[in-house]
Structure 1
Amino acid sequence: MSIRLRRAIAGLAPLVGAAFSAATASAEVPSVATDIAPVHSLVARVMDGLGEPSLVVDPGASPHGYSMRPSEARALSEADAVFWIGSELEPWLEDAIANLAPDAVSVALLDAPTTTVLEFRTGATFAEHAHEEHEEEQDHEQGHDPHAWLDPENGKAWLEVIADEMGRLDPENAAAYAANAEAGHAEIEAVEAEIERLIAPARGMDFIVFHDAYHYFEARFGIQAAGAISLSDASDPSPARVEAVRETVTELGVTCVFSEPQYNQALVRTVTEGTRARSAVIDPLGVGLESGPDFYPQLLRSVAEEMVGCAE
């Protein structure tokens, strides 16, 4: 071997060693799967600089009923930990975790002791003048409303839950997870204060949502929907429910009826036709927002902005 070749190999050795060390460090970080984009963002915030979680529900699809693609099922099967909302939102995912990731740590965030949970609202309309709800719809909506990520206080609480669990799985990086969670906590507090100022024009506005996904956001920021076209699980509403919502739009002179990108827009046209109600798109899952650590605060801000934009 020539002297020049030996020197070239010697020069490459530190680079190869550094690459190997980086790969080893990365391999030591647990593999994490998440269900929906808001949870993915919170986990990504905690893991920032250490690793990146995978997402098993496409942001453009409803999480209430979903068929995973092969790549998503593979990511779930390779997970050391799974952070998800819980079976109230995704009943199908409980079996998928049991079958594909039986050895993974499964954390249903809705079940965390620090989570603020609200009960389902029943009936098509939520005010005192509400039309009498149908028995099948009332029975269908018993239990906890799973859309808890739209309360920023839950987002802050979940950062701590995620950091604690990641610290147990990966003790060497526990301090980094905790520091990331603390930084994320401050970011959510900042956007929460911003929304408190931003949402003022929407307070007192009568509005209808497509499906009852915003109870947590409403309760936190002092606003209230007059009703929802669909049930909280976004299943198809009965004709009687649609008619009840339409009557409410007319009786209250509802300002806005919000649709969602994942669902049937024709139903919104049905309840607004012939009225003065405006329609706008609002999305509890943040379709179109860039995924990652910054997604969650941006999602909360976008919900407020859409509400205020329609109110004005």
Structure 2
Amino acid sequence: MGKSRIYLLAALLLLGPTGTSFGALNVVVSLKPIHSLVAALMQGVAEPKLLLTDAQSPHSMTLRPSQMRMLTDADLIVWIGPALEPSLSQVLQSDRYRAALVSLIDVQDLHLLPIREHEAWQSHGHAHHQEHTQPDSASEAPIYDSHIWLSPENAVRMVRYLTRILTGLDQSHREQYMENSRALLARLQTLDDLIRVKLEPIKNIPYVVFHDAYQYFEAHYGLNTVGSVNIDPDRLSGPRHIHRLQETIRRTKARCLFSEPQFEPKMVHTLVEKLGLGSAELDPLGQQLAAGPDSYFILMKGLSDNLTGCLSREMNQ
């Protein structure tokens, strides 16, 4: 059992069946895609607070005093975990936060994929369904890829888990949470079906991404990503990797290179021009979207639309 689950059980016992004596739960969520799912679950009860701004990267952000107060005042803090959010991990080491902390990477029965090395791109690997533990500290090397929300299957599991947490902490709104959960799960299934149909014509066309954030999406829909410019978005790859990537692009006849709106690396533009690739953007965090219960759905649909747009265009040329 992960440490976050032990602390969460303690929180359930301490807060009791009514959650908080001051009314609805004060919930803080670190990332926009997860905030969207929590907001959908809490509709008609309260609005969760989004911790990170669009200008902040989960990989390397500094919290403002107002954000520290948000964490201090929260009844429940929902985040992915230390591998994706190392700076936040340092803050959350304090005992005053741990009793109300949900680390979604530790949710039971998630489909987890190991972090890929550049040399192992041709295989998506095998999802892990058993009891798993990601390192508790950001200083330890992570085992699994933390971009878990990009799998609709994982989104369903997280929604079910969060529903249990919310109803346990705030039983006075149990029926509302359960009704919202049923509606959200149905909406996720519809989204999954629509995206699968949308991607079917282009799923075998090879392409390259800016950094390795999308393997859950790729594995779920059977897409043909053949490489990334970087694995870590905050650290540029060396000449050796870029040379190998160019060879891979030529060998596989990759059609498009997808950048991200929060990064403007010169290497992306260089590769697009040099190799005659199509280009478009993918946004795994939804940083250009308004926060709220719809943003997860807009994010996922945006990924499928932009993939289909570029790859279909290049396929027909």
Aligning the two structures, in what range does the TM-score lie when normalised by the shorter sequence? Answer: 0.7 to 0.9
Matched letter for residue 214 of structure 1: Y
Cα distance in 2, alignment partners of residues 93 and 287 from structure 1: 18
Cα distance in 2, alignment partners of residues 34 and 178 from structure 1: 20
Partner of 2:75: 80
Residue 241 of structure 1 deviates from its aligned partner by 1.6
Equivalent of 2:48 in 47, 53, 76: 53
Matched letter for residue 109 of structure 2: T
**Residue 245 and residue 87 in structure 1: after superposition, are their counterparts in 2 closer, same or farther (change >3 A)?**
same
Residue 236 of structure 1 deviates from its aligned partner by 2.2
Deviates more, 1:258-267 or 1:33-42: 258-267
Residue 106 of structure 1 deviates from its aligned partner by 0.6
SS at match of 1:237: coil
Number of aligned pairs? Answer: 277
Cα distance in 1, alignment partners of residues 98 and 82 from structure 2: 18
Deviations 1:279-310 (A, max 9, x none): 11111011222211111122111100110001
Contact 2:256 2:278 survives alignment (8 Å) = yes
Contact 1:109 1:158 survives alignment (8 Å) = yes
Partner of 1:254: 254
Cα distance in 2, alignment partners of residues 226 and 66 from structure 1: 30
Cα distance in 1, alignment partners of residues 84 and 164 from structure 2: 23
Deviates more, 1:117-126 or 1:31-40: 117-126
Matched letter for residue 146 of structure 2: P
Contact 2:271 2:277 survives alignment (8 Å) = no
Matched letter for residue 44 of structure 1: A
Cα distance in 2, alignment partners of residues 278 and 124 from structure 1: 24
Contact 2:210 2:258 survives alignment (8 Å) = yes
TM-score under structure 1 length normalisation? 0.83
- Across the aligned residues of Structure 1 and Structure 2, the Cα RMSD in angstroms comes to 2.1
Larger Rg: 1
Partner of 2:315: none
Structure 1 residues 1-312: aligned runs within 5 Å: 27-99=22-94, 101-102=96-97, 104-123=99-118, 126-127=121-122, 143-232=143-232, 234-312=234-312
SS at match of 2:92: helix
Cα distance in 2, alignment partners of residues 281 and 141 from structure 1: 29
Contact 2:256 2:277 survives alignment (8 Å) = yes
Cα distance in 1, alignment partners of residues 141 and 255 from structure 2: 26
Cα distance in 1, alignment partners of residues 257 and 120 from structure 2: 13
Cα distance in 2, alignment partners of residues 256 and 60 from structure 1: 27
Cα distance in 2, alignment partners of residues 309 and 103 from structure 1: 44
**Residue 119 and residue 286 in structure 1: after superposition, are their counterparts in 2 closer, same or farther (change >3 A)?**
same
Cα distance in 2, alignment partners of residues 290 and 72 from structure 1: 19
Matched letter for residue 105 of structure 2: L
Deviates more, 1:115-124 or 1:25-34: 25-34
Cα distance in 2, alignment partners of residues 234 and 250 from structure 1: 26
**Residue 271 and residue 101 in structure 1: after superposition, are their counterparts in 2 closer, same or farther (change >3 A)?**
farther
SS at match of 1:209: strand
Residue 123 of structure 1 deviates from its aligned partner by 1.2
Cα distance in 1, alignment partners of residues 84 and 212 from structure 2: 12
Cα distance in 1, alignment partners of residues 120 and 277 from structure 2: 16
Residue 160 of structure 1 deviates from its aligned partner by 1.3
Residue 101 of structure 1 deviates from its aligned partner by 4.3
Residue 176 of structure 1 deviates from its aligned partner by 1.3
**Residue 236 and residue 26 in structure 1: after superposition, are their counterparts in 2 closer, same or farther (change >3 A)?**
farther
Residue 104 of structure 1 deviates from its aligned partner by 4.2
TM-score under structure 2 length normalisation? 0.82
Residue 26 of structure 1 deviates from its aligned partner by 10
Residue 97 of structure 1 deviates from its aligned partner by 2.0
